[in-house]
Amino acid sequence: MAGYLARRLLQSAGVLWAAFTLSFLILYLLPSDPISMMVDGVAEAGTLDPAATAQLKARYGLDLPVWQQYLQSLRGAVGGDLGLSITTGRPVTGLIGTALPSTLALAGAALGLALLAGAGLAVATAWTRSRRLKAFLRALPPVSTALPTFWVGLVLVQIFSFGLRLLPAFGDSAPVHVILPALTLALPTGAVIAQVLGDALESTLHRPFIATARAKGVSRRRILGHHAFRPAAVNALTVAGVIVGNLLAGSVVVETVFARNGVGRLTQQAVLTQDIPVVQGVVMLCATVFVVINLAVDLAYPLLDPRIAAASGPAVSGPGRPADPAAVAAPATTPRDEELVHA
């Protein structure tokens, strides 16, 4: 276990390093010159003092050769220093730090809503016996992923703020301001959860141990809520990293729509002003969150799923898709399924 943990930690650090390097390559090697962008905003062309420009470049370390810039910023990033914002001159970590609570509140509320609605929808789809209703419920997640998030936000504002005058439209001064943005952000997230959990539930319900439980006379409710839901939820945990990453990315759009001062708005402003250090900081934040969540999920698996604890290390599925059922129904999985039934 200790060896596994060490290997996983090393792997995570490797991914983070690669994300840093890749974002550095993209942001610093492609043709954009942040200093001239910044100076353009301040002074008229031609009135530029070359000495002042050089001083500015030196301040942001942009006068050094690229590899030295890279090493310098990597050293900083390891120590938690992501450099200075080009437009404001303030440290990037500080900017993200002040914006983070608002985004966390939004993402947390959205995740809660999405979990409730998504799991509810998945369970309802598995529960209903009406074929029409099942088909209808199953069509909901694909339809909701086809809606542009920013448009949903604007329509909600029109209905609830300007039409019904129930909720405030823009801003983030009071807790009530979080409702509409959270609903907007929860829609695509909930759709993903409903889809992944629904698929997992459906495949779990066709497993032999469910048939065994049913044969033993376990009630439908207990089969769905206990026997099928738990392994399906563990399966669905694999997408936790993607879901949280998408919540953060979605906050860029949602916070812009609702004029909330969070990390998403900060990102949008940074892209608009080509504030490269801030953009890289946000990319690193997302990559870190993704890596940490995946690490946590991997480490939590043996605790949640006794089958994985029994087989040392997490199960690795073969590449590609499960081609023929005969190959998938390997003898190794069937006996372990039966262990799950302790009704």
Partner 1 sequence: MPETVLQARQSATPATPAVPVAGPTRRPSRSRGLRGALPTWLVRHGGTVLAGAVLLLVITAAVTPHLLAPGDPLLSVPSHRLRPPGPQHWFGTDQLGRDLYARIVYGAGRSLTATTLAVGIALGVGSVLGLLAGAVGGTVDTVLMRTVDVLLSVPSLLLSLALVTALGFGTVNVAIAVGVSLVASFARVMRSEVLRVKHAPYIEAARASGVRPAGILARHILPNSVLPVLSLAAVEFGGAVLAISALSFLGFGAAPPTPEWGSLIADGRNYLATAWWLSTLPGLVIVATVLAANVLARALAPEEHR
Strand partners, 91: 84
C-alpha distances (whole Å) from 103 to each of 181, 191, 305 are 10, 20, 32
Q: How many residues bind partner 1 (CB under 8 A)?
A: 78
Would you tell me how many other CB atoms lie within 10 Å of the CB of residue 83?
20
Q: Which is nearer to partner 1, 49 or 99 (CB)?
A: 99
Nearest approach, Cβ of 92 to partner 1 (angstroms)?
A: 14
Residue 168 DSSP label: -
Q: Which stretch binds partner 1 (CB under 8 A): 53-61, 82-90, 171-179, 247-255?
A: 247-255
C-alpha distances (whole Å) from 7 to each of 51, 79, 289 are 50, 22, 19
Q: Which stretch binds partner 1 (CB under 8 A): 46-54, 62-70, 87-95, 319-327?
A: 319-327
Contact (Cβ atoms closer than 8 angstroms) between residue 214 and residue 226: no
Query: Is residue 205 at the binding interface for partner 1, with CB under 8 A as the rule?
Result: yes
Q: Which is nearer to partner 1, 2 or 221 (CB)?
A: 221
Q: Which is nearer to partner 1, 102 or 246 (CB)?
A: 246
Residue written as token pair 């492609």: 30
Query: Is residue 248 at the binding interface for partner 1, with CB under 8 A as the rule?
Result: yes
Nearest approach, Cβ of 39 to partner 1 (angstroms)?
A: 16
Single out the residue of 253, 21, 46 nearest to residue 149, CA to CA.
253
Residues 85 and 274: their CA atoms lie apart, in Å, by 10
Q: Which is nearer to partner 1, 48 or 271 (CB)?
A: 271
Q: Which of 253, 262, 266, 298 binds partner 1 (CB under 8 A)?
A: 253
Q: Which of residues 132-161 bind partner 1 (CB under 8 A)?
A: 134-135, 138-139, 141-143, 145-151, 154-155, 157-158
Q: Which of 85, 113, 280, 302 binds partner 1 (CB under 8 A)?
A: 280
Residues 95 and 289: their CA atoms lie apart, in Å, by 17
Nearest approach, Cβ of 7 to partner 1 (angstroms)?
A: 15
Single out the residue of 298, 287, 201 nearest to residue 249, CA to CA.
287
Contact (Cβ atoms closer than 8 angstroms) between residue 267 and residue 282: yes
Q: Which of residues 10-39 bind partner 1 (CB under 8 A)?
A: 15, 18-19, 22-23, 26-27, 29-32
Q: Which is nearer to partner 1, 50 or 221 (CB)?
A: 221
Single out the residue of 126, 117, 120 nearest to residue 188, CA to CA.
117
Q: Which is nearer to partner 1, 28 or 309 (CB)?
A: 28
Task: State which amino acid sits at residue 192.
Answer: V
Q: Give me the torsion for CA of 331, 336, 342, 343, rounded to 10°.
A: -50
Residues 87 and 215: their CA atoms lie apart, in Å, by 68
Q: Which is nearer to partner 1, 84 or 252 (CB)?
A: 252
Contact (Cβ atoms closer than 8 angstroms) between residue 181 and residue 247: no
Q: Which stretch binds partner 1 (CB under 8 A): 177-185, 228-236, 264-272, 332-340?
A: 264-272
Nearest approach, Cβ of 225 to partner 1 (angstroms)?
A: 15
Residue written as token pair 């207990």: 222
Query: Is residue 41 at the binding interface for partner 1, with CB under 8 A as the rule?
Result: no
Contact (Cβ atoms closer than 8 angstroms) between residue 263 and residue 100: yes
Nearest approach, Cβ of 143 to partner 1 (angstroms)?
A: 7
Query: Is residue 327 at the binding interface for partner 1, with CB under 8 A as the rule?
Result: no
Question: In the stretch 160-199, what mask flags binding to partner 1 with x, by CB under 8 A?
Answer: --x------x---------------------xx--xx--x
Backbone angles phi, psi at 91, to 5 degrees: -65, 140
Q: Which of 87, 283, 302, 340 binds partner 1 (CB under 8 A)?
A: 283
